[in-house]
Structure 1
Amino acid sequence: MMYHLSQILDRSAAQFADREAFRCDGAGITYRTLQQQANGLAHWLVDQGVKRGDRVGIYLNKSLETAIAVYGIWKAGAAYVPLDPSAPITRTAEVINHCGIRHLLTQKSKRAQLPAILAACPALNYVLGIPDQIELPEAIHRCDWSDLTLDATAPKLHLMEQDLAYIMYTSGSTGTPKGIMHTHRSGLNYAQMAATIYGLKYTDRLGNHSPLHFDMSTLDYFAGPLVGATTVIIPEAYTKLPASLSQLVQDEELTVWYSVPFALIQLLLRGVLDERNLRSLRWVLFGGEPYPAKYMYDLMAKLPQAQFSNVYGPAEINQCSYYHVPALTNETSDTAAVAPIGKIWPNAEARVVNEQDELVPAGAIGELLVRTPTMMNGYWQRPDLNEQAFYRCTIAHQAAVFYRTGDLVQQQTDGNYQFIGRKDRQIKARGYRIELDEVEAALVGHPQVEAAAAYAVPHAAHSQQIEAAVILQADSQLAADDLISHAAAHLPTYAVPKKLIIAPNLPRTGTGKIDRTALKQQALQQQALAAPS
């Protein structure tokens, strides 16, 4: 019986010892070797004072070492904290200090950032991954990856499913990071549920597109090893070159893909798919933000053998619903639609409530609350946020806890939930309620628009004004006024953007999502410059 996540590796090492567990940049590691190296790392961590419940930072670019780090930390009884390797040093230090990290797993490619991080993090005294010839402060206890031993057994520890397994900090360019705490129970439940729903098996080859600090990576690092599959870690350089990425998908014969829609749109538009043989792909999972139907249908037409599924769930609950997109037919034509987020999966429960936490009538719009064993334990050292995040009630005479997703949904007659927008992206302008996601969907519905972002900025008389930024298709000659007219034909007058800019690109977070906060800040700066002095 498995009740903590490191047992995933032990079971697969026993069943599939010589199968490749992970691959990266042409190199691979078998389940047996991964187990032995994870055991060796666990012994080093314990020797350096790591105890059950400690947090260990992973500061690595995509590599095979990330898999060793995840499972080695678990085998030492600790929780892993993935750090964004591209984040500013100040933010990285903020996470390390907030989480009380004393041990850091890294690599020599990060040596330029380490001195500043160590100077800003006085409790950080143990570093693995830096060779002796690279200078570090004398007080730092260090070890290189090549110095670790291969061990047949892990340290003897007592762990329970309620113990902390990982803390994932939310991404974003502004604001204080918050750490989402997941236990072995929530992580293992997610791995088991995902493997069942998506029919994962040992012959599968999963494409790990998402970085470790993004919650989507848990499918590849948890559910893949659970069934003995091979996870192919896609180096960061490939994610920025769609043609090279499609070549990798072909060469590695990937069978399962999971990413944000943006990555799939780039593959479609710039991945020269007509020159590739991607028949190995049997399942394409996407989530994190709405996937414009015009792009989804075009990609489905190029990959007719693959099942496409919209996967939904904030990082706080891993996943909780899915929608299997029906195969294309001659009647498939609604290119303005967005796939539903589907039905709540087994062993989970949903409620849709209004602002007073009352259940809304069937078919009405409300906030989605979810109760599931894949749910987080709370936010690290943030009781204020925990109070806001959970809805507590009584069901069948027992206490029940739901997570407030902040997402507005509408249940359709077939039982599927349709994502309407974010509760925090629903604004009021001149007394009208406006869904910014609806504004974006209208803009992206234009055949010459590649991507769009809508945001609200302060306006006169304490109101707000909607503005938007769009990327056009390469050959488009559209003007901003043309797009405003297009939006006016699909939106109420009060929801039409008052200002629209055509941009060469849109800022994005480290996880590939459009950074609307950055766009809003840019608009506010321009507004301030234009104001009379």
Structure 2
Amino acid sequence: MQIQNILNYLEASAASCPEKAAFEDLEHSYTFAQVQENARRMGSALAAELSPNAPVPVFMEKEAWTLNVFMGAVCAGCFYTLVEPELPVERVRLILETLDAQVLVTTEKLKEKAEGLGFQGRILLAEDLVQTEVNQSLLEARRKGACDTDPLYAMFTSGSTGVPKGVVVSHRSVIDFTEHFTEIFGFTSEDVIANQAPFDFDVSVKDLYPTLKCGATMEVIPKKFFSVPKKLIDFLDDRKVTSLTWAVSALCIISMLKGFRYKVPGSIRRVMFSGEVMPVKHLNYWRSYLPEARYVNLYGPTEITCNCTYYEIKKDFTEEEQIPIGIAFPNERVFLLDEEDHLVTAENPGMLGEICVTGTALALGYYANPEKTAEVFVQNPLNRRYLEPMYRTGDLGRYGEDGELYYATRKDFQIKHMGHRIELGEVEAACQALEGISRVCCIYDEPNTKIIAFYVGKLESKEIIRGMGEKLPRFMIPNVFQKVDAMPLTKNGKIDRKALMASYEERK
């Protein structure tokens, strides 16, 4: 059967395994039948308030109940946006202003905080919405008028102008990605998926929709557990987790603190990572304790629905080597273009090009922001025959001598220093490969023409310079080394570069 709406996944699982747990956290568990009933009730209430394809901002915490609300918005023929309550008030206001939404869904617990936002629309409580009687005719009418290209969710990423950008993704893009993702990596109803990512970060999409499609169980890990590795590992072991699709930094928390000396969760059979370059020494730590698990490097920005390439780890890597980003998922084309928009191929190993993507996984653009959308969602310059939208990722890649595709750096992280063009990713890799260094982040202080290396490790700067000098020319070695106890992380689990620079400025 051709899947047209993401609700087809929920309905199929609710029919085949109604009493099985779909979403769980520390305090609550919801079966597929319960999720479907909750979604239909909330969907009936929202559909009575809103027109089709309207935004439904959800001002709720990361818990299993929130996922029920997402499905309620979808049942109403609308799309959801998670608005994180811990965000600064000004950023929340900018998101709500961009959405220009009529309603804001929250909980009794957060009602007072929501009322303090100055939101001009109606504030609705999820506890009230779920008491609504199902309006079958209204839900059927919404479904009948829906298209698979209708928006499913919007996720807000940071904007260069300070205004957050809402990436809008359709049902079709998520369906196409989920179909291939679950088939390639063998997800089944036996899987227990441990959710690390915040719900406003697209890594969580790879937890939520495989759960619904396969009739698996999604375990929502409390955020606080990532600062207490023993509790985190106990959670994975107690819940018999089989699958991790995590940000690189989340996996590195366990490896940096040698967490598996305490306990190894024996049920894990799939470890997938994305968001940043995975340091080989951390990958090797995981593989040494879980050698039978399947390891996959995933690459791709939010604008192309989670990931566009994957590379399955089937060989050993030394700490000096880089892990390829692999091959494109079906229904996506991934290629490199040089600065003149000429195709860069594997016949030119080492040559840099911007990673570009076409196919059904592309987002619908940025919500209410046609100017920014037009900058990066463009016509494929290699195709002058018909409309073929392409997304420019802003990432640089290259083919290796082995013919594999590798991520090089962000365009923003390629610098001009002492007359030389330098990729900060290459500098980080050389430093991180040194014995005694756990993690590295390099930032260019352009006004003072200095490369600053922030690192976690036991080496001193003289030792690092000596070690890097054996691999890199002098002009690529950082001018400043600043040791930190741990890398500060953004809420999405990536290294927080702004926080690092702020700490550097304070110490100057």
Report the TM-score when normalising by structure 1: 0.89
Q: Is the 8 A contact 1:353 1:359 kept in 2?
A: yes
The aligned counterpart of 2:194 is: 207
1 CA distance for matches of 2:488 and 2:291?
32
1 CA distance for matches of 2:134 and 2:65?
14
Q: Is the 8 A contact 2:106 2:123 kept in 1?
A: no
2 CA distance for matches of 1:277 and 1:81?
36
Identity %: 27
Q: Is the 8 A contact 2:44 2:134 kept in 1?
A: no
Q: Is the 8 A contact 2:431 2:437 kept in 1?
A: yes
2 CA distance for matches of 1:325 and 1:153?
50
The aligned counterpart of 2:85 is: 85
Q: Read off the aligned partner of 1:469 and give its amino acid letter.
A: F
Shift of 1:303: 0.4
1 CA distance for matches of 2:138 and 2:184?
31
2 CA distance for matches of 1:448 and 1:63?
38
Matches within 5 A, 1:182-331: 182-270=169-257, 272-317=259-304, 318-327=306-315
Deviations along 1:87-114, one digit per CA (max 9) or x if unpaired, are 1111111101111122222224434522
Out of 326, 337, 341, which is 1:342 matched to? 326
Shift of 1:271: 6.0
Q: Is the 8 A contact 1:42 1:154 kept in 2?
A: no
Shift of 1:150: 6.8
Q: Read off the aligned partner of 2:122 and give its amino acid letter.
A: N
The aligned counterpart of 2:453 is: 468
2 CA distance for matches of 1:112 and 1:442?
50
1:126 aligns with 2:132: no
Out of 491, 495, 510, which is 2:491 matched to? 510
The aligned counterpart of 2:167 is: 180
1:154 and 1:443, CA in 2 relative to 1: closer, same or farther beyond 3 A? farther
1:173 and 1:502, CA in 2 relative to 1: closer, same or farther beyond 3 A? farther
SS of the equivalent of 2:252 reads helix
The aligned counterpart of 2:432 is: 444
Q: Is the 8 A contact 1:201 1:227 kept in 2?
A: yes
Shift of 1:487: 2.8
Q: Is the 8 A contact 1:39 1:153 kept in 2?
A: no
Matches within 5 A, 1:360-371: 360-361=344-345, 362=347, 363=349, 364-371=351-358
Q: Read off the aligned partner of 1:2 and give its amino acid letter.
A: I
Q: Is the 8 A contact 1:244 1:271 kept in 2?
A: no
Shift of 1:116: 2.2
The aligned counterpart of 1:58 is: 58
Q: Is the 8 A contact 1:59 1:104 kept in 2?
A: yes
2 CA distance for matches of 1:501 and 1:170?
28
1:392 and 1:16, CA in 2 relative to 1: closer, same or farther beyond 3 A? same
Shift of 1:269: 3.2
Q: Is the 8 A contact 1:36 1:152 kept in 2?
A: no
Deviations along 1:293-339, one digit per CA (max 9) or x if unpaired, are 01101110100120110011101012111001015xxxx46112231
Deviations along 1:43-86, one digit per CA (max 9) or x if unpaired, are 11123x11211101122212121211111100101110111232
The aligned counterpart of 2:461 is: 480
The aligned counterpart of 1:134 is: none
Q: Is the 8 A contact 2:308 2:334 kept in 1?
A: no
Deviations along 1:474-514, one digit per CA (max 9) or x if unpaired, are xx3x3233223333332221121111111223322110101
Deviations along 1:430-479, one digit per CA (max 9) or x if unpaired, are 2211111112212211221222111111346xxx321121122xxx3x32
SS of the equivalent of 1:433 reads strand
2 CA distance for matches of 1:379 and 1:337?
36
Number of residue-to-residue matches in the alignment: 499
Q: Is the 8 A contact 2:326 2:405 kept in 1?
A: yes
1 CA distance for matches of 2:138 and 2:286?
45
Q: Is the 8 A contact 1:246 1:271 kept in 2?
A: no
1:425 aligns with 2:413: yes
The aligned counterpart of 2:343 is: 359
- Please say which of residues 33-42 and 227-236 is displaced more in the overlay: 227-236
Shift of 1:388: 1.6
Q: Is the 8 A contact 2:244 2:271 kept in 1?
A: yes
Q: Read off the aligned partner of 1:519 and give its amino acid letter.
A: L
Deviations along 1:264-311, one digit per CA (max 9) or x if unpaired, are 111123363234242211110001101110110111010012011001
2 CA distance for matches of 1:265 and 1:525?
27
1:410 aligns with 2:391: no
Q: Is the 8 A contact 1:292 1:336 kept in 2?
A: no
2 CA distance for matches of 1:155 and 1:333?
52
1:499 and 1:188, CA in 2 relative to 1: closer, same or farther beyond 3 A? same
SS of the equivalent of 1:113 reads helix
Unaligned runs of 5+ in 2: none
Q: Is the 8 A contact 2:45 2:129 kept in 1?
A: no
Shift of 1:518: 3.2
SS of the equivalent of 2:93 reads helix
2 CA distance for matches of 1:284 and 1:202?
17
Unaligned runs of 5+ in 1: 130-142, 528-533
1 CA distance for matches of 2:456 and 2:108?
37
SS of the equivalent of 1:216 reads helix
1 CA distance for matches of 2:14 and 2:317?
47
Q: Is the 8 A contact 2:424 2:442 kept in 1?
A: yes
1 CA distance for matches of 2:433 and 2:159?
27
SS of the equivalent of 2:321 reads coil
1:194 and 1:453, CA in 2 relative to 1: closer, same or farther beyond 3 A? same
1 CA distance for matches of 2:476 and 2:311?
29
1:447 and 1:259, CA in 2 relative to 1: closer, same or farther beyond 3 A? same
1:245 and 1:151, CA in 2 relative to 1: closer, same or farther beyond 3 A? farther
Shift of 1:256: 0.8
Deviations along 1:330-377, one digit per CA (max 9) or x if unpaired, are xx4611223111111222112211111111242222111111211101
- Please say which of residues 104-113 and 509-518 is displaced more in the overlay: 104-113
Cα RMSD between the aligned structures? Answer: 2.2
